[in-house]
Chains A and B, each alone.
Chain A
Amino acid sequence: MINPMGTITAAAALSSAPASAALSSAPASAALSSAPASAALSSAPDDVEVLVLAGGLSYERDVSLRSGRRVLDALRSAGINASMRDADVLLLPYLQEQPPSAVVIALHGATGEDGSLRGVLDLCGVPYVGCDAQASRLAWDKPSAKSVLRERGIPTPDWVALPHDRFSELGAVAVLDRIADRLGLPLMVKPAQGGSGLGAAVVREASALPAAMVGCFAYDSTALVERFVPGTDVAVSIVDLGDGAQALPAVEIVPRDGVYDYAARYTAGLTTWHAPARLAPRDASRVAAVALAAHAALGLRDLSRVDLIVDPNGQPYVLGVNVSPGMTETSLLPLAVQAAGLDFGKVLATLVGRAAARAAVA
């Protein structure tokens, strides 16, 4: 597999902030709707048959079904022959009988993001949009991804990851005290694996930590406890339309009630999104560069979404990287595509065409 970003080191991306910086600085939409960017959108050949995978058994099944339908509609509107299926026991026989030209994985949660399904698609020789199994597995496990980011000098908040067994062995009170001492309050508690804010909580007082841990462990057996960085929540979507990975304008997230939980993410009206984010041009460039560096450091491909927080000094921290970003009406990547002046369907069509071409080369 060729990693299109393989030649760009994280350090290079961070220091020189290449073309990407211009893309995300204001007026970002003008920069992206200009001829070169849209020229990169190539239409896929007529005989391309795309299979959108959505549903699955994860907590994010409902979100995935919404993402899948949105992707399906966008592909069809771009003239692509596409259909949608669940990832269930009928999938492999189907792939064998009617192998699609490419698969778009709109599955969120473990099936779509832990790399396992990508591994199975590799076994079947079916190409798919997005990174390979290994990179997916790395990005999916937040503590592993954060270790890689830190090694490459990409800022991410201090953290500790603990499986629930450790608390029973060592005593919850003792461990929690050490965590609070070391990282300081407030803290962010979230499942080591998973998305959509499920099982996540901000802890402002030490007394609230046990409850947050219990809530988190209902979703995953390992918890990631992170130093809470106050600042502006942004998400940077990265797409590679053939000219290398580019950062789309950052989207700023302002939840009405201050908490970007599941309801705030998926109930239209509960969150205001600013695309592009209301960042100073210098900060916007920095955010884009850091996001691109994270995408590269984790060996990602085609598309990803990097979630960051920008502290009051303009310093971005990477919170997580999503290899199967949400595609619903209230999701961030489609908003970024729109803010860039691009057509969602055409972007998807281009990514599908690239995936199909990879298979042809292989």
Chain B
Amino acid sequence: MTGTTQDDYTDRYARRVRGMTTSEIRALFAVASRPEVVSLAGGSPYVAALPLDAVGEMLGKLASETGTTSLQYGIGQGTVELRERICEVMSRSGIDGASPDDVVVTVGGQQALDLIARLFLDPGDVVLAEGPTYVGALGVFQAAQAQVQHVAMDADGLIPAALSSAIAASGGRAKFLYTIPTYQNPAGVTLSDSRREEVLEICERAGLLVVEDDPYGMLSFSGDAPLPLRARRREGVFYVSTFSKTFAPGLRVGWILAPHAVREKLVMASEAMILCPSAFAQGAVTQYLTTMPWQEQIKVYREVYRERRDALLSALRDLMPAGTSWTHPEGGLFVWATLPEGLDSKAMMPRAIAARVAYVPGTGFYADGTGTANMRLNFSFSEPARLREGVRRLAGVMEQELAMRAVFGPGVAGPHRRRGPAAADAPGPDLA
């Protein structure tokens, strides 16, 4: 007699799919979408700050006036009009002289990362990445069956000495460094100007490619962000960015600026994956950049986020239990908090959900299961008063958990649980 697994495909999945399981934490995030819960767990830009009526009018015209092209297939590399605009956008970040020919438009920054993984990673290859790093990148590298080695950071970003050791430890198997140098997700820290040169030199010496992911560089709260790595080196650096944070993530438009030699392969790989990026979404971004005050809008986003960052930081200062520490981001969307000794952010999640507050446990940002002492807090989506309420609830949860740990002994680790992919400990992209 044979039983059923309720999945007739169990024995047929590719090796890279093994270990893709659902998780308790994912189940808890499902509750976080209810309005009763203050979610500090998402990563959503505050698109309500957009001039939605004007955007609507623009999109209407895009269909009615240029529908024969904007609703048609487009070219795999992306429209030349958008690629020209993208080069203008990049020059505002300090990347001068980029050619539209070397830009490939992608479906968000996420597809750009997947393209790079397809081009460069064989199973067993090593990717060096900050620890912690973006959960979506971990998913891409895992699907490519690569191993991620994390490189430690401090308040000034990636630690150069740690990078050197990681390169040495990889024994030549490291293919590239994946880095979010500016307003990092999830840590909220920025690689300092002086370290940028140092990191580039270390990578050059080791023959290591650099994949620079820069979704947040334009969301600086005070003055300008440091120059991107790509602004300092034309070769050896792949620059990835997106309009998700400067305009709207719903359009799913991102790009790669690649060294010229690689561009053709990127385009072919992209055509194999998606045929072409959405002509309509590209038209929308092009129109937005051409006809609307997009730089003013970025200032609006910055102002909104700076106010919210301030609100979150002051709530943390006022309410968090002793022994908690956190980063002080100068831009971006996230604060990274470190819990008092003995607390486990993953084990604490159900208690937090019961108290109607949500965060992402640090384990969602590591490939190796570390991060139980940390959590990521988002400040871009909720209004200041709600952020403070969220922190108030979270502080209560931590006090309860500390009391519990005091009763059962310090440093009692949570019970052994199944460890799935990092993504199993992070919410889906729809959670605000």
Contact = CB atoms under 8 A, between A and B. Distances in A.
Interface string B302-334: 000000000000000000000000000000000
Nearest to A215: B415
Nearest to B11: A269
Contacts of A212: 415
B26 A62 contact: yes
B175 to A, nearest CB: 31
Interface string A139-167: 00000000000000000000000001001
B22 A263 contact: yes
B407 A168 contact: yes
B268 interface: no
27 contacts: A57-B37, A59-B24, A59-B27, A59-B350, A60-B27, A61-B27, A61-B34, A62-B27, A62-B30, A167-B407, A167-B408, A173-B409, A210-B412, A211-B415, A214-B347, A215-B414, A217-B404, A218-B348, A218-B349, A252-B3, A261-B24, A267-B22, A269-B5, A269-B9, A273-B4, A273-B5, A275-B3
Given A172-B409, A212-B415, A263-B22, A271 B404 contact: no
Given A65-B30, A214-B405, A262 B23 contact: yes
Given A218-B401, A262-B27, 20 more contacts: A59-B31, A61-B30, A61-B34, A65-B30, A88-B34, A172-B409, A198-B27, A214-B408, A214-B412, A215-B347, A215-B415, A218-B351, A219-B350, A262-B23, A263-B24, A263-B420, A269-B6, A269-B10, A272-B5, A274-B4
Interface string B334-364: 0000000000000111110100000000000
Tier of interface size on chain A: 35 or more
B27 A168 contact: no
A63 interface: yes
Interface string B1-28: 1011111011001000000111110111
Contacts of B9: 269
Interface string A76-117: 000000000010100000000000000000000000000000
Interface string A31-62: 00000000000000000000000010111111
Nearest to B418: A263
A275 B4 contact: yes
B169 interface: no
Nearest to A208: B415
A272 B27 contact: no
A88 B33 CA distance: 13
A210 B410 CA distance: 10
B417 interface: yes
A292 interface: no
B403 interface: yes
Contact of A274 (B1, B349, B351): B1
B413 interface: yes
A55 B5 CA distance: 25
Tier of interface size on chain B: 35 or more
A210 B412 CA distance: 7
Contacts of B20: 267
Nearest to A167: B407
B3 A172 contact: no
B36 interface: yes
Nearest to A169: B407
A198 B26 CA distance: 12
Nearest to A191: B350
Q: Which of A211, A214, A272 has the most CB of B within 10 A?
A: A214
Interface string A293-312: 00000000000000000000
B22 A57 contact: no
A314 to B, nearest CB: 18
A254 interface: yes
Contacts of A214: 347, 404-405, 408, 412, 414-415
A110 to B, nearest CB: 10
A37 to B, nearest CB: 22
B349 to A, nearest CB: 7
Report the 6 A-B pairs with minimum CB-CB distance, sorted nearest first: A268-B7, A62-B30, A274-B3, A269-B10, A272-B3, A269-B7
Nearest to A328: B6
Contacts of B6: 268-269, 273, 329-330, 335
B4 A272 contact: yes
A75 interface: no
Nearest to B7: A268
Contacts of B405: 214
B350 A199 contact: yes
Contacts of A335: 4, 6
Contacts of B31: 57-59, 61
Q: Which of B1, B10, B30 has the most CB of A within 10 A?
A: B30
Contacts of B37: 57
